[in-house]
């Protein structure tokens, strides 16, 4: 699919994601990133995330939590430094 991370991209991003266990089973981070990137690239509202991804609230909440934790900044800084 056009919006899905390649194995190379996933390998570059994965180390920056939090991996702390939570009380509820964690949705696959790669799938969540694919859904977030679908929203960002398409310009669609969160509620229009295709049903194949699951509940849009999972993606929105993860996006906001990662933003507040500085995860997105870390990813962008690291990728910008990559030759």
Total structural domains in the chain? 1
Burial class (CB in 10 A: 0-12, 13-18, 19+), 36: buried
Does 17 fall in a domain?
A: no
Q: What pLDDT was estimated at residue 83?
A: 64
Give the structural domain span for 69: 7-12+27-81
Q: Which two tokens stand for residue 79?
A: 């990728």
Does 1 fall in a domain?
A: no
Does 2 fall in a domain?
A: no
pLDDT digits (tens, 9 = 90+) for 4-37: 899 988 998 999 998 877 777 778 899 999 999 9
Q: What pLDDT was estimated at residue 72?
A: 94
Does 18 fall in a domain?
A: no
Q: What pLDDT was estimated at residue 62?
A: 94
pLDDT digits (tens, 9 = 90+) for 42-82: 999 999 999 999 999 999 999 999 999 999 999 888 888 77
Does 38 fall in a domain?
A: yes
Does 22 fall in a domain?
A: no
């Amino acid at each position: 699919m056009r919006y899905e991370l390649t194995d190379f991209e996933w390998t570059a991003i994965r180390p920056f994601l939090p991996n702390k266990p939570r009380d509820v089973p964690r949705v696959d981070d790669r799938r969540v990133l694919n859904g977030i990137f679908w929203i960002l690239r398409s310009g669609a509202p969160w509620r229009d995330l295709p049903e194949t991804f699951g509940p849009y609230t999972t993606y929105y909440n993860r996006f906001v939590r990662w933003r507040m934790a500085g995860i997105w900044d870390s990813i962008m800084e690291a990728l910008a430094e990559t030759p």
